[in-house]
């Protein structure tokens, strides 16, 4: 008994919001007259400038989205310098610099120079 009442109440409750819509649908609609209010006062110019304005707004949205993605994505990989140093200094150059600074003595320098020249 309670289940039947609940289903009847749900069906009636679902139909209540549709009542005003049916009443509005039956009201007569006056035909839209052509005049100064056509295209919000722009007249026939609105048919030309409306689509152009829509294209400009769409282009602005796309530009903002692309710039935001590029800003959030960080720099491009082509703009980042390589992580390894350029091969301008050889192992012998580094050994010569260390010997010149006095970090290694002459015996160690000669031994390492022979090892480098064998490779």
Amino acid 63: pLDDT: 97
pLDDT tens, residue by residue, 19-65: 565 555 666 655 655 555 555 666 666 677 788 899 999 999 999 99
Residue 7 has pLDDT above 70, yes or no: no
Amino acid 48: pLDDT: 78
CA dist list (Å): 97 to 104, 107, 109: 10, 15, 11
Q: Parse the chain into domains and list their residue ranges.
A: 42-75, 88-119
CB 80 within 8 A of CB 70: no
Higher-confidence residue of 75 and 11: namely 75
Amino acid 56: pLDDT: 96
């Amino acid at each position: 008994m309670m289940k039947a009442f609940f289903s009847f109440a749900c069906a009636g409750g679902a139909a209540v919001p549709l009542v005003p819509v049916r009443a509005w649908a039956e009201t007569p609609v006056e035909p839209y007259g052509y005049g100064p209010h056509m295209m919000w006062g722009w007249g026939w110019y609105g048919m030309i400038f409306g689509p152009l304005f829509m294209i400009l707004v769409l282009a602005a949205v796309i530009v903002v989205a692309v710039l935001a993605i590029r800003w959030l994505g960080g720099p491009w990989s082509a703009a980042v310098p390589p992580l390894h140093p350029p091969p301008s200094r050889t192992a012998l150059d580094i050994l010569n610099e260390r010997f010149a600074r006095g970090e290694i003595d002459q015996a160690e320098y000669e031994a390492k120079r022979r090892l480098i020249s064998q490779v």
